[in-house]
Amino acid sequence: MKRFDGRETSELRPIKITRGYTRIPEGSVLIEVGMTRVICTATVEEKVPLFKKGSGVGWVTAEYSMLPRATQTRNQREASKGKLTGRTMEIQRLIGRALRSVVDLKKLGERTIWLDCDVIQADGGTRTASITGAYVALVDAVNYLLTKGLLKENPIIDSLAAVSVGKVGGVALLDLAYEEDSKAEVDMNVVLTGQGKFVEIQGTAEDIPFDREELNKFLELAEKGIHELIREQKAALQVL
Amino acid sequence: MKRFDGRETSELRPIKITRGYTRIPEGSVLIEVGMTRVICTATVEEKVPLFKKGSGVGWVTAEYSMLPRATQTRNQREASKGKLTGRTMEIQRLIGRALRSVVDLKKLGERTIWLDCDVIQADGGTRTASITGAYVALVDAVNYLLTKGLLKENPIIDSLAAVSVGKVGGVALLDLAYEEDSKAEVDMNVVLTGQGKFVEIQGTAEDIPFDREELNKFLELAEKGIHELIREQKAALQVL
Amino acid sequence: MKRFDGRETSELRPIKITRGYTRIPEGSVLIEVGMTRVICTATVEEKVPLFKKGSGVGWVTAEYSMLPRATQTRNQREASKGKLTGRTMEIQRLIGRALRSVVDLKKLGERTIWLDCDVIQADGGTRTASITGAYVALVDAVNYLLTKGLLKENPIIDSLAAVSVGKVGGVALLDLAYEEDSKAEVDMNVVLTGQGKFVEIQGTAEDIPFDREELNKFLELAEKGIHELIREQKAALQVL
Amino acid sequence: MKRFDGRETSELRPIKITRGYTRIPEGSVLIEVGMTRVICTATVEEKVPLFKKGSGVGWVTAEYSMLPRATQTRNQREASKGKLTGRTMEIQRLIGRALRSVVDLKKLGERTIWLDCDVIQADGGTRTASITGAYVALVDAVNYLLTKGLLKENPIIDSLAAVSVGKVGGVALLDLAYEEDSKAEVDMNVVLTGQGKFVEIQGTAEDIPFDREELNKFLELAEKGIHELIREQKAALQVL
Amino acid sequence: MKRFDGRETSELRPIKITRGYTRIPEGSVLIEVGMTRVICTATVEEKVPLFKKGSGVGWVTAEYSMLPRATQTRNQREASKGKLTGRTMEIQRLIGRALRSVVDLKKLGERTIWLDCDVIQADGGTRTASITGAYVALVDAVNYLLTKGLLKENPIIDSLAAVSVGKVGGVALLDLAYEEDSKAEVDMNVVLTGQGKFVEIQGTAEDIPFDREELNKFLELAEKGIHELIREQKAALQVL
Amino acid sequence: MKRFDGRETSELRPIKITRGYTRIPEGSVLIEVGMTRVICTATVEEKVPLFKKGSGVGWVTAEYSMLPRATQTRNQREASKGKLTGRTMEIQRLIGRALRSVVDLKKLGERTIWLDCDVIQADGGTRTASITGAYVALVDAVNYLLTKGLLKENPIIDSLAAVSVGKVGGVALLDLAYEEDSKAEVDMNVVLTGQGKFVEIQGTAEDIPFDREELNKFLELAEKGIHELIREQKAALQVL
């Protein structure tokens, strides 16, 4: 069986990771996963949120947004509405949590790394692309701190990437495009470390609940996809 | 090994489900899971949100809140802050999604069932207690509609309950109390149907990523717990 | 003449005051006045608002809220609307002001007692029930401070309770239920101390203005009712 | 005994009511009560709020605001803060309620009269000055509707004015200036009709609760003051 | 050619500047430009915004608002909407910027002068009237500081006034009234110093773009008008 | 004299206009002016704002935003703050007004074209780059409507571009980079049509007011720059 775009069930969309996409931030990455494109920037700020002040420990946090016309119909800006949607909050909490899991915050020292993920084109999988791209921006920001002598030791513990899996028409698929996502029976986002361990798993049965066997199938697809994504991250990090 | 409160690793806290807790709503349930107490009410509204208008299809949605002093230190009310926190948004989206998965929205007809989950005492597991209690309130609201002749056919497809599992000090535990939750290495919420199928799985490694084997252990505990919770729901629904 | 629920014109609804309703707060009271039920909790916070900082003087303040389905039709949460209604603001200012009038804020020392009044079922008189219940929660919080040795001297000067009176169909009535309140020609809330002195009087002619003679009749009813309420508070405070 | 400004205990401050203060509104009144100055405008809008739509019945509502430097120290604008304070909400609810009590809303027909009370200089008694001034603006707006033939019959039932009374240094005083208000032991606002009946009574013991006898003294002062205010309103309404 | 109100094309509306309009602020001016009336008050605050703290340098800032019924139809208060409109923000930024241009902020010392411009009647040119009036209020506030010995040296560098010009029916006009402004093809606001230099120029072609020659015509009109306005300011400042 | 980046006083920075930058919108342009980069998208929406409904006339409006790290230090997102800054409002009002001036809204018919200008890198002149880029996106959206047969006639009347000019160190300069803008004595934005007519002129003396002669010098520079920008727009529009 072929998918609508010619992919195999266990095939990722083409990935492209561009470092140094804008010139100002400590880390700036454009990640493209098929038609999905996200600008991920990392900013170093020499202070921490109130609840960490004086602890000597650092913080990593994320914000996520979409340009109004990243999607087929224009969405009202959250800045105009005056508040973030639940979806945005959920996604930016997920991205921040995932990236903190591979950083030794004590080694980072009392500073914050902000990861801004701005979707300029959305075709499914924007949250997982954000995590995968933000990881690369984070590495660049840490390299900046190491080069400047502001950090003595690398606080990054492991590599990290994320991918979506799902069930469409009864078939388990890796890396859903919007076309597939919008009619998926199950939608699952998985975040794994370079060592193949789980950092986050979020699975939702949209219509038809799934069983343990199906879950195992989803996780195998995710492991395969993330293995490839981490290879792409490594390749991108060797350039430059 | 015994837990801090004397439970076995695979033991739920004591459950108490009180129907008809307040007299006005179509469904009103007080669920107690150990020290955690949530008032779950179901309200029938004879209209649907804009995006469902004219579709003939119904809607089920949830709102979640905590009394300011449900916890050890008083939290500022979200109404005073002027906005919902990300945590609240995430939880109420989860509750709504979970309950919609066991309702045939076409059979429900063009009406909304609101599920309000108000935590009056919080000791861990408030979101899973909310789902388990809201299910009972939902059944009562549907029975109200059936009795009144407003529904011809029961739109509820399956039973549903939720539980947390986690890893604390390297040991997999069922149904974490706050004492345990606050130091868990892994925190996972699982929502299953009466037939033991997955509706939602959300697992987060707070510090140490987990592997497939551990995941399987967590899921077994969850299945055991939810089996018992659904038995409690059924017992409660037979009374009255 | 009998009222719709069989009461005499000068008869209170049945009162029930349950202390220690939830286990965490310094004071936690469920007050039931007929069908009206309010959870009143008192929280001690070891700081004061900015405008009292460094004064050595304490503060007592209140917040009031209703569960969405405390009433016949569901109300949108103020947290979802993003702001408090005028009604809520007015009520919580009244509760705070009333309770401050029986506390010697200098003796309280530089700390705040928060009184949270959460209405779980509303059948008229929620603001007066809140004051009457919050007084008991306040006493419990002060006892907690005395027992812990954090206070040397009791800062509570007098007892305090509140009741509504009104005119319905030309007849002066004590303690209006919603059924009566919704068609009252005059609606008045009275807060008295244990010594029968006025702390607050708020009377509104909804349709037909009233004269001095009627006002005197209302005040007599209020005095009678509050006398009984204070007896109930004392009885509740002796238990436990 | 003389007061700080030479008045007797039962003496009002000088009153000045200027009609047609600005030229555009249907009613526009500048009321001066001593140093307190409020612009009261009445606007006729040919529609009603949602909850009155289709009822054939009209509505009267009020808004209240202070210029930032109406007071000794500059207050931040509520428009900049993004929300109304509880004080403002309470006051504008009071003004609207008071004025509705002298209007036959059925005779007004399905239209709204907005009363905007903008305090340009504040020296105590701004809410009672607002009510007294807004009544005159309301009469002018109703006259406009009668003249235009939009109303056949005058919907105003009675005249209406408001005054503050209080206790300062143990002495009952009429019409408190800020100097007195800021140290009052009791603060009471009274709204009476031309026939001397109560529309609203709001009394608060700031420090020392008061008894029935004192209440009677306050009400006598209020009756005297309002009698004079209504005479001033009538005089102003005869001019022009 | 005569205008709708009998003026020549290069004729200002009648100006009236009343100092000491309210008694409390350090500067309080009522400016009337034809039917347009604005209360401009200046408040001295002995602190500066965060971004100036510790700099030894002062700040001048402005806020602008309209009473709801300053215009033909009532506008909703921005305080009720919970946010400022873009128009208000733009105007208050303009007023602040213009007045800062004639103040030596170093000489002012680390304090803020707030200029509040509240439009009580609007008939075109409210922003330029605000600037012209606020200048006078500012001078009064500075005089207050000099008299009190809080300033040694006058920080005001030059005088300042503003006027609108525009093109209506192909004719360049000075000082547009609302009647003209609402159908203008070009609308331009000009702020000049007493020495005739530009502080601000903001011109917009509403429908038909304009050329250099027309621009020159507009600027000549503006220069003439501002010359007269500054004469009026000086006259007003000599009184009192 | 050379500028900090080697340019002549009357020299633009290098311009690059990329059409079809993202694939979904009706018009999508990346404009680069030196280091400044803005994504300008045009979205066609088949409805108009309320105030135009039923008029048969269309609308063109703009929104403007910066990515948080478009600048040297990270700015908090306006969506997180919950409101737009005055600067953003002012800029988006300017962009919308400028583009409406070259569209015959009657010919556009009752539909809206949204122009979203999202700055991904900011180095001065973001508002003028937005206008210049948005014009190209607008042309593409109109071409889309013409091609689809949704428009019979081209509603675009003229071409349009914008540029900044200013005075730095006493010298008039064209197209200020951030380095120059931050220390400019005069800052002016000019919007001209293809026929060299003024649509908008906004000049501000930051410190030192300027005279007519200087103004003329600024306008000559602006005319020269806009002439070149319009040539770049035309070149870009011929490609594709």
Q: What is the pLDDT of residues C86-144, one digit of tens each?
A: 999 999 999 999 999 999 999 999 999 999 999 999 999 999 999 999 999 999 999 99
CB pair distance less than 8 Å for A205 and B202: no
Assigned superfamily of F15-237: GHMP Kinase, N-terminal domain (3.30.230.70)
| Minimal-distance CA residue of chain E relative to D22 | E121
Smallest CA–CA separation between E86 and chain F, in Å? Answer: 5
Q: Tell me how far CA of residue A82 lies from CA of A128, B62, B71, C22, F82, in angstroms.
A: 26, 22, 29, 36, 4
CB pair distance less than 8 Å for D210 and C197: yes
Smallest CA–CA separation between F219 and chain A, in Å? Answer: 32
ipTM for this prediction: 0.94
Of F35, F41, F77, the CB nearest to A63: F77
CA distance B78 to B95: 19
In chain B, which residues have their Cβ closer than 8 Å to the Cβ of A201?
201-203, 215
Residue stretches of chain F with pLDDT short of 70: 1, 240
* Selected residue of A64, A103, A199, A207 to mutate for chain B interface (largest B Cβ count, 10 A): A199
In chain A, which residues have their Cβ closer than 8 Å to the Cβ of B84?
86
pLDDT band at D240 (very low <50, low <70, confident <90, very high): low
CB pair distance less than 8 Å for F198 and E210: yes
Of B87, B199, B206, the CB nearest to A209: B199
Helix (H, G, I), strand (E, B) or coil at D216: helix
Please answer whether residues D34 and D15 qualify as being in contact, where contact means their C-beta atoms are separated by less than 8 angstroms. Answer: no
Provide CB contacts within 8 A for B182, sequence distance 6+: none
Please answer whether residues D194 and D136 qualify as being in contact, where contact means their C-beta atoms are separated by less than 8 angstroms. Answer: no
pLDDT band at D43 (very low <50, low <70, confident <90, very high): very high
pTM of the predicted model over 0.90:
yes
Averaged pLDDT of chain D? 96
In chain B, which residues have their Cβ closer than 8 Å to the Cβ of C74?
43, 45, 114, 116
Sketch the domain layout of chain D as residue ranges: 15-237
Whether A240 has a pLDDT exceeding 70, the answer reads: no
Average pLDDT, integer, range A76-95:
93
In chain B, which residues have their Cβ closer than 8 Å to the Cβ of A219?
212, 215
CB pair distance less than 8 Å for E39 and D120: yes
In chain E, which residues have their Cβ closer than 8 Å to the Cβ of D65?
77, 79
Q: Tell me how far CA of residue F180 lies from CA of B197, F191, F209, in angstroms.
A: 64, 20, 18
Whether C239 has a pLDDT exceeding 90, the answer reads: no
CB pair distance less than 8 Å for B79 and C78: yes
Smallest CA–CA separation between B140 and chain C, in Å? Answer: 15
Averages of pLDDT over each 10 residues, chain B, 240 residues: 92 98 97 98 96 94 97 93 92 97 96 98 98 98 97 96 97 97 96 96 92 96 98 90
CB pair distance less than 8 Å for B198 and A203: yes
D182-186: list long-range contacts, CB under 8 Å, 24+ apart: D185/D210, D186/D210, D186/D214, D186/D218
CB pair distance less than 8 Å for E79 and D83: yes
Q: What is the pLDDT of residue D175?
A: 98
Q: What is the pLDDT of residue E176?
A: 98
Provide CB contacts within 8 A for D233, sequence distance 6+: D17, D132, D135, D136, D159, D161
Helix (H, G, I), strand (E, B) or coil at B172: strand
In chain B, which residues have their Cβ closer than 8 Å to the Cβ of A195?
209
Known binding residue A231? Answer is: no
Residue B201 touches chain C, beta carbons under 8 Å: no
CA distance F222 to F217: 9
Copy the structure tokens of residue F156: 């675009």
Of F196, F197, F211, the CB nearest to E197: F211
The alpha carbon of A233 is separated from its chain's Cα centroid by a whole number of angstroms, namely: 12
Whether C240 has a pLDDT exceeding 70, the answer reads: no
Average pLDDT, integer, range A17-30:
97
Angle in degrees, CA D148, D149, D151, rounded to 5: 110
Residue D57 touches chain C, beta carbons under 8 Å: no
Of A86, A196, A210, the CB nearest to B198: A210
CB pair distance less than 8 Å for A201 and B199: no
Average pLDDT, integer, range E37-41:
98
More confident residue, F207 or D85: D85
Copy the structure tokens of residue E11: 């004729």
Residue B199 touches chain A, beta carbons under 8 Å: yes
Q: What is the pLDDT of residue A41?
A: 98
CA distance B113 to B41: 10
Of B90, B195, B203, the CB nearest to A90: B90
CA distance F215 to E198: 9
Of F84, F90, F199, the CB nearest to E205: F199
Give strand pairing partners of E61. E114
Q: What is the pLDDT of residue E206?
A: 84
Residue C79 touches chain B, beta carbons under 8 Å: yes
Q: What is the pLDDT of residue E232?
A: 97
pLDDT digits (tens, 9 = 90+) for C5-35: 999 999 999 999 999 999 999 999 999 999 9
* Amino acid (1-letter code) at residue A22: T
The residue ranges of DSSP E strands in D128-182, in sequence order, are 160-168, 171-174
> Which positions of F make up the binding site?
87, 125-127
CA distance F162 to F157: 16
CB pair distance less than 8 Å for B198 and A207: no
CB pair distance less than 8 Å for B41 and C65: no
CB pair distance less than 8 Å for F71 and A24: yes
Of E41, E78, E121, the CB nearest to D24: E121
| Minimal-distance CA residue of chain D relative to C160 | D209
